[in-house]
Amino acid sequence: MEQEVEFIPVEKSFFQQPTLRLAESLLGCLLVKETEEGVAAGFIVETEAYKGPMDRAAHSFNNRRTKRTEIMFHEAGHVYTYVMHTHCLVNVVSAEKDVPEAVLIRAVEPYEGIDLMIERRGGTSLKNLTSGPGKLTKALGITMEDYGRRFDEPPLYIGKGFTPKDISTGPRIGIDNSGEAKDYPWRFWVTGNEFVSR
């Protein structure tokens, strides 16, 4: 992105919008992680919405409340991290308190701390650096220690970025065992962005 971006967290109220709208509103926002190694950040270019109790693809389907999903029942704007296939994935808790919904951040476009990100990812190419939910967390330094934090305050936060010209929607990825939910068009991405996962 060519414009100057300020590293300032969004207001708490930003997260207080319906889950599908939040999933779209997050596109273009800056995802920032501050660590002792330095600051790493990227613009969110792909998200997926998970609408809790009625969504067979959601961890909280049927209001399933476990140690892992507990944070999903908190107010919008909390960090929900979990490990899948050894990769840490990061989500934004959405909806009202006790309505367990979330938005998965699937891909970001690298912006700040790119050398640090490449080092963390073992020297991979720029295009492959953050083009997937497990790739971006490793590159940015997001871990399970971030679980339960808030996205409107450091060290892991979301800031204003750019407004996408075009947004595409389609089915979510990797949820083939979710019945009719596998076809819901709840994946959102910045049309034509090279860092989208697929």
Query: Angle at CA 51, nearest 5°, toward 50 and 56?
Result: 80
Q: Between 131 and 57, where is the model more confident?
A: 131
Question: pLDDT digit string (tens) for 144-174?
Answer: 999 999 999 999 999 999 999 999 999 887 7
The strand pair at 101-112 and 156-159 is best described as: unpaired
**Mean pLDDT, all residues of the chain:** 90
Q: Distance between CA atoms of 70 and 148, rounded to whole angstroms?
A: 9
Per-residue pLDDT at 117: 98
Which is higher by pLDDT, 5 or 189?
189
pLDDT in tens, 33-58: 999 999 999 999 999 998 877 665 56
* Half-sphere CA count of 171, side-chain side, radius 13 A: 11
185 preceded by cis ω (within 30°)?
no
Is residue 1 pLDDT above 50, yes or no?
no
In order of start, what are the domains of the chain with their CATH numbers?
A: 12-190 (3.10.300.10)
The answer on pLDDT for 64 being more than 70 is no
Gap between the Cα atoms of 58 and 72, Å rounded: 10
